Amino acid sequence: MTLLRRTLLALGLPVLLVAVWWWASAGSTDFYRPALSTILAAFADTWTWDRVRADVLPSLARLAAGYLLALTGGVALGVLIGGNRHVRAFLEPLLEFLRAIPPPVLVPVFILLSGVGDRTKVLVIAFGCVWPILLNTVEGVRGRDEVLSDTCRTYRIGGGLRLWHLLLRSASPRIVTGARQALAIALIVMVISEMIAADNGLGFAVLQFQRGFQIPAMWSGVLLLGLIGVLLAWGFRWAERRMLGWYYGQRAGRREW
């Protein structure tokens, strides 16, 4: 019953909006605003397996590479900065400066430095989405419980055990929060990076359709990006539930008492 209700609640608004779109756009003769039925037909025609292989998979591969790079780099640097206030004081001004640079601006710069290939796009994605991961990791590591730190010291728990069981696990709820924000940014930066000096990818395809006046195909590309965003968010939530089971359990327990 609750599962049914949850599903109805979650699907209610999307279904409603699609219905309204369908009804309002039915029989549209406006060239730029085709009927939803036309867009869906174009969707099926456009995103064939060949097209998926040519544009979608390269995009997703770059997204994954850039995101993982940001995740490992952000967490590693975050632990270093959060664990030592001298390092923090030393690096903070530089990081504030870098963080203020909008990532799309760096596409031309990175193209000059590392060419127009995948490497540039991966780097731009990583640079764009590393900040929420880095800053949340720093705060998470800094906010570790003092009693737990003392416990590690008195029981002489150091090195890798301390890194994992004290620093990283303490910070993990914050890291996950940062990683969730980063995922959304990564998707945006991925599309933008593919709109500049690219020869494949989702962003490239959508831009090509628009320039070639393939308007229904262009709309179908936007729909596909939205769907990918939803799927990524679902996958993320699934991973989060698995990793932070202790965290949600603890919080639920606290409310009970």
Partner 1 sequence: MLEVDHLNKVYDSHGRRVEAIGDLTFTVPEGQFACVVGPSGCGKTTLLRTLAGLLPPTSGEVQVLRRRVTEPPAGLAVVFQEYGRSLFPWLRVRDNVELPLRAQRIAKARRRELADEALAAVGLAGTGSAYPWQLSGGMQQRVAIARAIAYQPRVLLMDEPFAAVDAQTRADLEDLIRSVWQRLGVTLLFVTHDIDEAVYLGQRVVILSAAPTRVADDLDIDLPADRDQLTTRADPRFTELRSRVYAQIQKVKADPPGKEG
Q: Which residues bind partner 1 (CB under 8 A)?
A: 145-148, 150-151, 153-158, 161, 165, 169, 172, 246-247, 249-250, 253-254
Contacts with 208 (C-beta within 8 Å, 6 or more apart), sequence order: 214
Q: How far is the CB of 90 from partner 1 (least distance, A)?
A: 24
Asked whether 73 and 126 are in contact (CB, 8 A), the reply is yes
Compute the least distance from the CB of residue 5 to partner 1, in Å. Answer: 28
In angstroms, what is the minimal distance from the CB of 174 to partner 1?
14
State in angstroms the smallest separation of the CB of 242 from partner 1. 12
* Contacts for 205 with CB less than 8 Å, ≥ 6 apart: 51, 55, 221
User: By C-beta, is 43 or 247 nearer to partner 1?
Assistant: 247
Nearer to partner 1 (CB atom), residue 211 or residue 254:
254
Nearer to partner 1, 108 or 245 (CB): 245
CB of 79 to partner 1, least distance (A): 16
Amino acid at 27: G
**Angle formed by the axes of helices 245-256 and 215-243, to 10°?**
70
Which contacts qualify for 36-43: CB closer than 8 Å, 24 or more apart?
Answer: 38/216, 39/216, 39/219, 39/220, 39/223, 40/220, 41/216, 42/214, 42/216, 42/217, 42/219, 42/220, 43/220, 43/223, 43/224
- Closest distance to partner 1 from the beta carbon of 244 (Å): 9
Nearer residue to partner 1 within complex by CB, 234 or 246: 246
Residue (197 or 244) nearer to partner 1, CB: 244
Tell me the C-alpha to C-alpha distance, in Å, between residue 167 and each of 47, 65, 151, 172. 44, 25, 13, 9
Q: Which is nearer to partner 1, 46 or 136 (CB)?
A: 136
Q: Are 205 and 52 in contact (CB under 8 A)?
A: no
